Amino acid sequence: MSNIHIPKGWEMPENEVTPESVYLNRREVLKAMGMVSLFAAGALPACSPPQSVIDAHPEINLTDLEKTVYPANRITKYKLDRRITAEAVAGSYNNFYEFSEVKEDVDHHAQRLQTRPWQVEVTGLVKTPKVYDLDDFLKRFILEERFYRLRCVEAWAMAVPWTGFPLKALLDDVEPLPNATHVRFESFHKPFLAQGQFAFWQPWPYAEALTIKEAVNELVLMATGIYGHPLSKQHGAPIRLVVPWKYGFKSIKSITKIELVDYEPSTFWNTLQPLEYGWEANVDPNVPHPRWPQTKEELIGTREVRLTQKYNGYSDFVASLYT
Ligand code: MTE
């Protein structure tokens, strides 16, 4: 994240970008067939997966359990003010420094990540520490689809349909102790698989953190899916965080450990470059990055430039956290 990257390779003509209406129409077809709600309710065990997933991704092999949960019920409460970014654009312009510093190469290198089996340990200041595997998440929590904006600190932005469940539901499941003040998230550490982690001067594994008040905010999602199917590896399969009012680096990918603690944990970018990447990292157009302004953002795929909004437009949900 050392420089603002001027997008080049992934640019797509306007007419190749999936407008929200087209993405929604696909869902409407499924809905008309009665499939979305039935799948969301888990009422169709191990039957044919929804056509949209099959059509768009013949390469994705859904497990029987996944066939019952994707696509999830869409929550319309969280509105977008822009089109959904085309999946091909969002999936070929990624920040995942474990695999590459070149955004356009991440997709290729990230395919090495083995995402099954995958366990997430939830530990620390909780009454009932637990280790979940991926299927535990899919069975235990109700997945929903939400359209969110994502604003990268590098001044590019996108809008994507995530599938996941609120982090609060997970925290409720482990019962935080009263003295827990922060939640720390950690990614995998496998330098021989993810060669970016050989950079010994960087504080691997990637880690991020929220205050507990932030963590239980309704917007914070544990995402297991994107574009109606399980997360693609370059987006942080099999499970990642999504915190839409903070710069994208807070939304840590491929989580293996969540720890409740009573101190402010150190985080990857804030440790590496504290003067450039703050710990709190709320989107704020009035606070420039030391090397570029944050007043505007460029939408990947269309290159449309928009004014950046305080808290990335989510003030109604989060401003009260910071008064
Ligand atoms: N998580 C891990 N483990 N490693 C990373 O390098 N990059 C962050 C965040 N999560 C990163 C990460 C940054 S800087 C951004 S902008 C978003 O992931 C990008 O998410 P995307 O590639 O799905 O768009």
**Over the stretch 296-318, which tens digit does the pLDDT of each residue have?**
999 999 999 999 999 999 999 99
Structure confidence by residue, pLDDT tens digits, 206-255: 999 999 999 999 999 999 999 999 999 999 999 999 999 999 999 999 99
The answer to whether residue 205 is domain-embedded is yes
Question: Where residue 11 falls among pLDDT bands split at 50, 70, 90?
Answer: very low
Domain assignment of residue 132, yes or no: yes
Q: Where are the beta strands (DSSP E) in the chain?
A: 73-74, 119-124, 130-133, 144-151, 156-166, 182-187, 207-211, 221-226, 229-230, 240-242, 255-261, 296-299, 305-307
Ligand 1 centroid, distance to 101 Cα (angstroms): 11
Q: What's the average model confidence in pLDDT over 64-84?
A: 96
Strand, helix or coil at 252?
A: coil
CA–centroid distance, 28 to ligand 1, in Å, is 31
Q: Is the CB of 98 under 6 A from ligand 1?
A: yes
Residue 150, pLDDT > 50, answer: yes
Write down the mean pLDDT value for the chain.
88
Instruction: For residues 125-141, give the mean pLDDT.
Output: 98
Which atom of ligand 1 is nearest to 247's Cα?
16
**Distance in Å, CA 298 to ligand 1 centroid:** 17
* Contact indicator for 322, 278 with CB cutoff of 8 Å: no
Q: How far is the CA of 249 from the centre of ligand 1 (A)?
A: 5
Residue 56: what pLDDT? 65
Alpha-carbon gap, residue 91 to 236, rounded angstroms: 11
> What backbone phi and psi angles, to 5 degrees, belong to 208?
-140, 170
Which residue intervals of 49-86 are DSSP H helices?
51-56, 64-69
Sign, CA dihedral 201-203-206-208, equals negative
Q: How far apart are CA 304 and CA 157, in angstroms?
A: 10
Q: Please state the rounded mean pLDDT for residues 270-287.
A: 98
Query: 234 in a domain, yes or no?
Result: yes
pLDDT on residue 60: 84
**Domain total of the chain:** 1
In a domain, 220, yes or no: yes
- Amino acid letter for position 10: W
Give residue 61's pLDDT band: very low, low, confident or very high (50, 70, 90): confident
Output the pLDDT for position 32. Answer: 42
| Residue 9 counted as domain residue | no
Q: Which atom of ligand 1 is nearest to the CA of 93?
A: 22
For residues 129 and 143, what is the distance between their CA atoms, to the nearest angstrom? Answer: 22
Ligand 1 contact via 251 beta carbon (within 6 Å): yes
Q: How far is the CA of 270 from the centre of ligand 1 (A)?
A: 14
Q: Whose CA is nearest to atom 5 of ligand 1?
A: 96
- Average pLDDT on 82-95 reads 98
Q: What SS3 state is found at 258?
A: strand
Do the domain assignments include residue 6?
A: no
Average pLDDT over residues 179-185: 99
User: What tens digit of pLDDT does each residue of 38-49 get?
Assistant: 333 322 222 333
Q: How far is the CA of 280 from the centre of ligand 1 (A)?
A: 16
Looking at residue 20, its pLDDT comes to: 53
pTM score, two decimals?
A: 0.87
10, 93, 96, 103: which to mutate for ligand 1, most atoms within 8 A of CB?
A: 96
Q: Has residue 293 got a pLDDT over 90?
A: yes
Residue 273 predicted with pLDDT over 80: yes
Q: What's the CATH number where 194 sits?
A: 3.90.420.10
Residue 8 domain flag: no
* Assigned domain for 260 exists: yes
92 ligand 1 Cβ < 6 A:
no
Residue nearest to atom 17 of ligand 1 (CA): 248
Residue 157 is part of which domain span? 14-322
Cα of 228 to ligand 1 centre, how many Å?
20
Of the candidates 78, 118, 101, 318, the one whose C-alpha atom is nearest the C-alpha of residue 210 is 318
Q: Is the pLDDT of residue 52 over 70?
A: no
- In short, whether 162's Cβ falls inside 6 Å of ligand 1 is no
Do residues 120 and 256 lie in contact, with contact meaning Cβ atoms separated by under 8 Å?
A: yes
Q: How far is the CA of 281 from the centre of ligand 1 (A)?
A: 14
Separation of CA 159 and ligand 1 centre (Å): 14
Q: Is the CB of 219 under 6 A from ligand 1?
A: no
Residue whose CA is at the smallest distance from ligand 1 atom 19? 95
148 lines ligand 1 (CB under 6 A): no
| Residue 184 identity | R
pLDDT given for residue 117 in this prediction: 96
C-beta 267 within 6 A of ligand 1:
no
